[in-house]
Each structure stands twice: as structure tokens, then as C-alpha cells.
Amino acid sequence: MPDRGGGPSGPRIRAGRPSRGIRTLLMTLGVLAVLGMAFTMFAGFWTDWLWYRSVHYSSVFTTTLWTKIGLFFVFGLLMAVAVGVNIWVAHRLRPPLSAMSMEQQSLDRYRMGIAPYKKWLLLAVTALVGLIAGASAAGQWRLWLMWVNGVPFHQKDPQFHLDVSFYAFDLPWYRFLLGFGFAAAVLSLIAAALTHYLYGGLRLTSPGARATAAATGHLSVLLGLFVALKAVAYWLDRYGLAVKSSDFKATGNWTGLRYVDANAYLPAKTILFCIAVICALLFFATLWRRTWQLPVIGFGLMVLSAILIGGLYPAIVQKFQVQPNEQAKEAPYVQKNLKATREAYGIDDAKVTEYDGKSDAADQAKLRSDADAAASIRIMDPNIVSPTFQQAQQMKNYYAFPTNLDVDRYKDKDGKEQDTILGLRELNLDGIPKNNWINDHFRYTHGYGVVAAKGTEADDQGQPVFTESDLPARGDLGTYEQRVYYGEKTTTYSIVGGPQKEVDYSADNGDEKTFSYTGKSGVNLDNPLNRAAYAVAFNDPQILYSGAIGKGSRILYNRTPKDRVEAVAPWLTIDGDAYPAVVKGRIQWIVDAYTTSNGYPYSSRTTLGDTTADSLTATNNNRAVVAQQNQVNYIRNSVKATVDAYTGEVKLYQWDTQDPVLKTWMKAFPGTVQPKTAISPDLMSHLRYPQDLFKVQRELLSRYHVTDAQTFLTGSEVWQVPDDPTNDSGSAVPPYYLSMKMPDQSKQSFSLTTTFTPNGRDNLSAFMAVDSDPGTSDYGKIRILKLPTSTTADGPKQVQSLFNSRQDIAETISLLTRGHSKVEYGNLLTVPLDGGLLYAEPVYILGGSKLKYPLLGKVLVSYNNHTAFENTLDEALNKVFGVAGSTTTPPDTGTANPPSSKNPTVQQALADAQKAFDAGQQALQKPGGPDWAAYAKAQKDLKAALTRAEEAEAGAGSKKGT
């Protein structure tokens, strides 16, 4: 029989053990797996470092990294030492002999089993708790940097008279330390108790004493430390009352002390602190008394006190002292909340002025002239006309405009500043002829050019009047670098500057122009290590071996303006709407950024995602503010940032020179933020008041416009931001930019405006505007026109309803929407005018089934219950004010006009209008493309027919009245 175990003639094989080759293979695979995981981690670290170095913000990367590493090792080591030392002490204090009992005999098996591995087990346990604690501490790098770099606010809270910086910078760090201390005490207590039990220091079922004296002393010290930390928590809770949030029936969300806090919770926390200190001393005393009797009694007293003093007593005070006379009791604390909230949100200087809302002016010609001076009424709605820009200026399918265009100010050829609608022709990868790796990342890499149009005009066809157009773009903006490598739609990476040429644009003769990126942006891929790292980081192996990458190739990523600013300044909150501007021959994205805090005493908190939501963010997530669920109670527009659309260069400018939060971060990251004086005059002319800050402030001002506590408590002056009446989103009306002047201003200023209605009602209660022109000393000044409560003025929803209910308007709308056409309402703008309120709204027509982009069709205007629905803004204003030969529409009385069908002249005019409308639709839908000349003629015929119908109807109405 052969020797199965092996012999001189062959190797000995052990049953159940892999061969040497298998073991080698498994070991090799294991090593490769470890190396693969290590390189994956390294790739993420290395590519981050390369990116920060490429944008010249490597100090942000290194400061953040070393802070995280320092916190990880310090707190990880502290936790590991705390747990490890207590395990070691418990092991040293084990009794020499175990009691002879079933319990101890059972434990003997475990003791014997772990005896050879005690050191390794101790290291494993301490390493595990250390890693977890270190990772948790590393995530608190912001708290550490704020605490160590914090600067004073030079404002004190009204209760404890401490600087606000204590609550904003110090208290959060102290709470973290306290939480860490609790975790260390609890883990040490559990580890020590288990060790004592394993080695007989604690006995659950054995006869005799349940614990040895050594175990009793050890565990008592740990319990004493835990109770001592609880005493510190009670003491910090006293200060935490100044920033505590609670529901207050009279006001809703509330932050700060109320009567019951100051007169019940505050003394209760002080008493509980004293009891906890005594209880901790009793636990420490067991080192000498060796009994838990007194500590247990003390601990029970502390728990009972927490229930009675910390819970029951405040409830009694609230029930029997506050509720019977709530307003008188709470008024002093509400006054503190009012003052702090207005200061924290920068609304303390908001100027509230009484305004009639109705005009008694009799000189209609003067009113018409004043209307032109009051505002540059914008009839091009940037949130609607993007498809029109797309149709007229897209040029190629691989270009696209953002869904919502931007409003800015530019000078025309005569040097006069005008409101301008502006958008970039950005790259749209969904529209390239063929999607593949080379096209997506090498050939189609950038957009091209700015397209701009006048905000206050439309041409005869209802299209925008472009001031910058075509490809390459030409117009009023002069010469500038038109290539857009960084934009809101640019979300994928591109590899540029290498052997592969890029598609630049198509010339007039149809030839495709190519280009090779010459900027210094991005990361160089000449290095094989870099290519391997990016192949792993982007999970795209072709980066490693593709022949399209060669000398000079650079990879561009993190290409949206918000992403870049957020990356270089992770301590900022970014506004939801970055906007482009042509500055000194370059396209610059301008990004507003905020410093925020959650620790301003007595200031009510708000959730950014809720307060910045409106009808635009409901349909466009790109406009939503970042950190949507962050609750803050202090906010400042402290930084203006720019991102170059060609080079991607990011610059941060200090805007609020007094903000202590920004000063703190500037200390933490020195050299990252440039002084305000570094902003060039050209850039300064394009800065504006940010929308998200304005929306936060208007939400707060709906309640905090009052400064009297009694009025605030009654809730009689609560306002609300109305829903957008121009669509069915059910969301708040967005704020609107336009150049206008308030009653106390001598000339128009670029402003951001909104309206308020009373809570639960639709009439207008106030109009708010903030000066958005940084070139004036009034920049940021909030003006509120408060309408009287004794009379009513129509709010946006009522004005829209008034427009829709007019029979003559309804008939015209019905005519315009025949066939496949649709009507879309533009921004409903509100302008104060001679004591009254002028409303203006553009109405857009979306053509037939083949042409789905809006053209300006009509303009609605309303003033003092006079309404006009005309082809142009000038005609509508003339009609409302009864000048230039127009017949003024009589005030609406609720009585419908006589049906036009009874008037043959009106019937004929409407028939002619229908023919003109049909002709226009046919011109738009011709197989070879729209016939714009025929469409323009049809529009003129339609306008003339509608004018005849209106004049005939008005004439019939006047005869009947006579």
C-alpha cells in the first residue's frame, strides 16, 4: 500500500491544509488587496492635495488636514488611555483568590482562555475605542478652530452679561469636551466593571460581599467622575438657556430665556449643580469609607431633585404664575428677543414708513411722467425667457442657457446704465452629436460667449432686444475672453491642453474651429502617479492608459462656481444663485457667501432651506441654498467671491469688515480672504445684495418689523410672504431685482423688492426694498412701506385675480390661446408711485406645437383700480393714466362690460385678429423653419385688429353711459 502520509519518494501532505502554492497565492492576493485599499485611500488624499494646490489654496487643505489629524490623535489617545488604564487598574486590583462558586468556576474558563492574549486584547480594545473617539473628534475641526481663533463680538447678552463670542465660539467647544468626558467615563466604567467581574472583584451570585474593597473604590471614583461631569453640565446648562430653542405659543419658534427659564430653570440648574458636586464628593469618599451607602443616597437625592426642581417646579411656575398673566410676565424677555434677533440678522436698521397705498393725485400727465422716473420696469422676466434665448442664440445643440437667467446692470452705447438680462452659452453634453469618452471629456470641453438683452424692451415680434449676441458674441460688452470652462452646467471633468484638440465654435461658413486650452487651471497629468490617482479617484481606468493624454494635458474638475468656492472656503455657506459678469475683459462668476452661527443669545433660529424657498427653488434645485437644513440665528453676507470662467481662479473678498465670525475664520485661514479694498471698481459695479440673505431677512421681518413686545405678543401685526400668483407652485413669490426709487430717494437705484400680506389674508400690508447698488452709501439699507390697517390695498394675488376677471382681458387671452398656444405670466412687479402702488406684469405667448418658447405678447398694468392690457409697456402706462390720446379704463366695479358680440365692429375686428393670429402661427410652423418676416406682419395686423376692437368696445360703452 502506498504511504498516504508521504515518504522518501514524495512530499508529505497534511490533510486539510492548503498546499504551499495555494498559501502563496492567497497571501499574494491579500497583500494586493491591502495595497489596493491603501492606494485608493492615497488616491483620494493625493488628488485633493493636487486640486487645492492648483487653485492656490493649499493652506486650506493643510490647515484642515493637520487640525483633523491633531484632534484624531489627541482625543483618540486620551480615550484609549482612559479606557486602557482603567482596565489595567481593574486587573491589578483583582483578588488573589476567587471564591469557590459556580459563578467563579464558570468564569475561570474565560480567564484561562484569554490569559495568553491579555496584552493583545487590551491593545485591541483600546485601539478600537481610540479610533472611534478620534474619528468623532476629527469631525469637530470647525469647533476647535472657532474656539482657538475666536474674536469678541463686543456685544453682551442681557442675562449673564457675557460677550456673544462665548456662546458662538466657546460654549460649543465646552459642550463637545463635556460630551467626550461623559463618553470616556461611561466606557471606562463599563470596561472596569467587566474586568472586575471577570477576575472576581464583582460577584453577582457568589456568597459573601458583592464587591471587593478595591473594586468598590475603583468604581466609586469613576462614578464620582461621571457625577462631577454632570455637575459641569448643569453649570453649562445655565448659559445654554440663552441659546435654547423652544416653542412659544405667542410667537412660535423662540430662542433665549423666558420668564420660567429665568425664574425657575436657572435657579434649579444652580441648585442641581451644588447637589451634583456634593454627590460626587460622596462617591470619592468611598476610597476611605469603603461603602456605597452614602453615595447611593446622594445619587438618589440628585435624581429626585432633578425631577422635582428641574421638572415639576418650572411646570408649577408656568401654570400658576405665567399663564394667568402671560403678556406681562413674558414682555421683558420678548423685548430682549426682539432686539437680539434684529441685530443678529442685520435688520435692526430697517426703516419702516407709513404709506397710504392710494394716490389722490389728479394730474394724470404728471403721474405718467413720474411712472417713468419711479422705475425701469422690467418686462423681460429672467425666469421665463431662457427658452427664447435658447431658440434665438443657442447656435448648436451642445450649448445651453440656464433655466433662470440673471439680472445685472450694464451701460449701453450712450453710457447710460440699464437693467440687463444675461446668460452664458454653457456646454451641454446632452446635445453633442455623439456621446463617447473622447467627445465627453476631450473634444467638447467648454461653452462660448455671453448673451445679453435689455430688461425693459422687446422687439416687434415679442423677442428680447439683444445687446450682446451671436457666436462669437459681439455687442455692447466689448472684447473679453468668451470661452466658458467653468459654469453652473459644467459638472463633469474635462482633459484639456494635450494632443487632442477641442471643439471651439462653428464659424459663419460652417467650419468647425478648434482650440487647445492655454490656461494654467487644473492638474497636470504628465506624471504617471497623477494619472493613476485620478483613474482610481474617478473610477475611470482610461485616464491611466489613454493615448489622448499626453504632454501638457490637464484635468479640470470641481467646475461649478458654488463647488469651487465651497471647497476653498468650507466654513462659508454659499448663496443659491451665482451669476456671471463681464469684468475687465473676463467672464467672472460672482458668488455671495455667508458666515453663520447657531449661538447668538436670544436670537430666534431659522432653517435656511425653509426661509430661502420660493416658487423658483420649487422648480429649480440649483437655486436652493446649500446646507438647507442648517439652523442658524446669525447670518452675514461677509464674503464676495469670484470664479473666472476661463481659468477657474477663485478669489475671496472681505465684504463685511465688522463681522467677528469672518474675522475668526480669517485668523484660522490667514491669507485666504483678500481685503475689501482689493475689489476693483469694475467688479464693484456688478455686485448686488444677495437673494438668499434677503429672503431670510424678509421672513424674519414678517414678525420682527415690530419693536414693541406687547404688539409682538398679540400677533396682530404678523405678515406673511404671499404665494406667487403667476403660477401654480403654491410657493412664495420670489424677490425681484429692478432699478427703482423709493419715496425718500431722489433717483433710481438697483434694488431687490418683495411684498407682504397680512397673515391669512390677500390684501397688501407692506412693500419692502433693499438698496442693492454697492456704489452708494445706502447699499443694504432696508426700507419698508407699511400700509394702513384701516383701509385695504390689493395684494399680488388680488391684482392677478383682477387681471384675470376683466372680460376684455379674458377675451383677448382666450383669443391668444386658441390652437396650441399658451399664455404664461411673467414677474408681477410692484412699484410705489405718488402714494399709490403701480403693478406691471408681462404676458408671454408660447407658440404652436412646434414652437414652445415664450414671446412677449402683452403687458398688464394696474394703478388705483385702473387697468390696462396693451401690446407694450408704454401703451399700457398711457392707457392707465389717460394720456397720449388713450381712453382710460374706468375703475373696476365688478360689473362686466357689455358683450362684444352685440357690436358688429367689434365682431369684425376680432375676426380679423383671429385671421392674423392664424397667419402668425402658420408662419412659425413652416416646414423650412419660421418665416419671421411673415410672423412680424401678422403680429402687426393682430395688434391693429385688437386695437380696433378695444376702441370700438370703449366707444360703445361711452355711448351707453351717455
DSSP 423: E
Please report the pLDDT score of residue 6 as a whole number. Answer: 42
For residue range 262-284, list pLDDT tens digits in order: 999 999 999 999 999 999 999 88
Q: Out of 6-20, 177-191, 246-260, 698-712, pick the least confident.
A: 6-20
- 631: helix, coil or strand? strand
User: Mean pLDDT: which of 283-292, 778-787, 901-910 is highest?
Assistant: 778-787
Instruction: Give Cα 900 distance to the centre of its chain.
Output: 52
Q: How confident is the model at residue 928 (pLDDT cuts 50, 70, 90)?
A: low
- Supply φ then ψ for residue 267, to 5 degrees: -65, -30
Q: How confident is the model at residue 578 (pLDDT cuts 50, 70, 90)?
A: very high
For residue range 796-850, list pLDDT tens digits in order: 888 888 888 888 888 788 777 776 678 888 999 999 998 899 999 999 988 755 5
Q: Between 921 and 353, whose confidence is greater? A: 353
The C-alpha angle 222, 226, 229, rounded to 5 degrees, equals 135
Long-range contacts of 106-114 (CB under 8 A, 24+ apart): 107/197, 107/198, 107/200, 110/198, 111/198, 111/199
CB 159 within 8 A of CB 242: yes
**Mean pLDDT across 704-712:** 91
Q: What's the one-letter identity of residue 872?
A: T
**Mean pLDDT across 27-34:** 80
885 has a pLDDT exceeding 80: no
CA distance 632 to 608: 7
CA distance 191 to 430: 59
**Mean pLDDT across 318-347:** 91
Closest Cα to residue 463, out of 372, 393, 408? 393
697's enclosing H/E stretch is: helix 691-704
Please report the pLDDT score of residue 94 as a whole number. Answer: 82
Q: Indicate if the alpha-carbon torsion angle 199, 204, 206, 207 is positive or negative.
A: positive
CB 614 within 8 A of CB 574: no
370 has a pLDDT exceeding 50: yes
For residue range 441-486, list pLDDT tens digits in order: 999 999 999 999 999 999 888 889 999 999 899 999 989 999 999 9
CA distance 440 to 446: 11
The C-alpha angle 328, 333, 335, rounded to 5 degrees, equals 90
- 665: helix, coil or strand? helix
CB 658 within 8 A of CB 638: no
- For strands 351-354 and 782-786, give the pairing: parallel
Q: Out of 399-408, 802-811, 923-932, pick the least confident.
A: 923-932
900 has a pLDDT exceeding 70: no
Please report the pLDDT score of residue 720 as a whole number. Answer: 92
The strand pairing partners of 823, in sequence order, are 845
Q: Out of 93-107, 237-251, 747-761, pick the least confident.
A: 93-107
Length of the chain: 962
101 has a pLDDT exceeding 70: no
208 has a pLDDT exceeding 70: no
Instruction: Report the share of the chain in percent with pLDDT over 90.
Output: 51
Q: How confident is the model at residue 420 (pLDDT cuts 50, 70, 90)?
A: very high
**Mean pLDDT across 39-60:** 91
Q: Out of 47-51, 581-585, 884-888, pick the least confident.
A: 884-888
CB 378 within 8 A of CB 457: no
pTM for the predicted model, two decimal places: 0.86
DSSP 805: H
647 has a pLDDT exceeding 60: yes
* Residue 885 CB-density burial (10 A; 0-12 exposed, 13-18 middle, 19+ buried): exposed
118 has a pLDDT exceeding 70: yes
CA distance 635 to 625: 13
Closest Cα to residue 448, out of 472, 466, 468? 472
- Secondary structure tally for the chain: helices H, strands E: 30, 34
User: Mean pLDDT: which of 293-297, 752-756, 930-934 is highest?
Assistant: 752-756
Query: What is the CB neighbour count within 10 angstroms for residue 768?
Result: 28
Within 13 Å and on the Cβ side, how many CA atoms surround 735? 27
- C-alpha separations of 65 from 49, 57, 72 in Å: 10, 13, 10
CB 118 within 8 A of CB 220: no
Q: How confident is the model at residue 287 (pLDDT cuts 50, 70, 90)?
A: confident
780 has a pLDDT exceeding 50: yes
CA distance 921 to 380: 22
The strand pairing partners of 219, in sequence order, are none
Q: How confident is the model at residue 15 (pLDDT cuts 50, 70, 90)?
A: very low
325 has a pLDDT exceeding 90: no
Q: What's the one-letter identity of residue 884?
A: A
845's enclosing H/E stretch is: strand 836-846
Any idea which residue has 491579555 for its cell? 118
301's enclosing H/E stretch is: helix 293-307
Please report the pLDDT score of residue 181 as a whole number. Answer: 96
In angstroms and rounded to an integer, the radius of gyration of the C-alpha atoms of the chain is 36
Q: Between 698 and 512, whose confidence is greater? A: 698
The strand pairing partners of 635, in sequence order, are 596
Any idea which residue has 429692478 for its cell? 738
Closest Cα to residue 741, out of 730, 731, 733, 753? 753
CB 223 within 8 A of CB 287: no
Closest Cα to residue 754, out of 767, 741, 745, 764? 767
Q: What's the one-letter identity of residue 204?
A: L
Please report the pLDDT score of residue 17 as a whole number. Answer: 64
CB 31 within 8 A of CB 23: no
Average pLDDT over the chain reads 85
DSSP assignment of 516-562: ---S--SEE--SHHHHHHHHHHTT-THHHH-TT--TT-EEE-S-SHH
**Mean pLDDT across 121-127:** 90
Please report the pLDDT score of residue 898 as a whole number. Answer: 37
CB 419 within 8 A of CB 442: no
C-alpha cell recorded at residue 339: 432686539
C-alpha cell recorded at residue 287: 476610597
Q: Between 855 and 175, whose confidence is greater? A: 175
CA distance 197 to 359: 87
The strand pairing partners of 756, in sequence order, are 766
